[in-house]
Structure 1
Amino acid sequence: MTKFWDNIKKFPGFILSVIAGFFLTTFHTIFELLKEENKRLITSIIIITFIGFTTIILRQMLGIK
């Protein structure tokens, strides 16, 4: 039973490292795309469109006007 509680104690550190790894991997790729001048405009448009659509969808789902 002590082995179980040892694993439970390690879980918050594990989940934080997974989340940090996800964001680092994602943002590293985006920053690499932004370094190239010809891809900067396209990447910016895609990011702004994604944020805009996400905002619209969440407002409609939550009933916020």
Structure 2
Amino acid sequence: MSDFWVNLYKFPRFLIGAFLGFFLTTFQPIFKLLKNKKRVIVFNIILVIIIGVCYKILAKMIAIE
């Protein structure tokens, strides 16, 4: 039974490590692309468009005017 509690105490550290590993491996190619100044501008424009579209969709879904 003590092994159960030891494993239970280790779980939050594992969960944090798994999430960090996922995000680091996912966003590493994006960080490499952002070393070029032109690509940073294009990335920011695309990001603003995506956020704007998501905002408009959510505003229409919950009827905010």
Q: Which runs of 5+ in 2 are unaligned?
A: none
For normalisation by structure 2, the TM-score amounts to 0.61
- Give the number of aligned pairs: 64
TM-score normalised by length of structure 1: 0.61
Write the mapping of 1:14-25 to structure 2, written as runs, cut at 5 A. 14-25=14-25
Identify the structure with bigger relative contact order (alpha carbons < 8 Å, sequence gap 6+). 1
* Bigger helix fraction: 1
| Aligned-residue CA RMSD (Å) | 2.5
* Contact 1:34 1:40 (8 Å CA) reproduced: yes
Unaligned 5+ residue runs, structure 1?
A: none
Give percent identity, aligned residues only.
Answer: 42
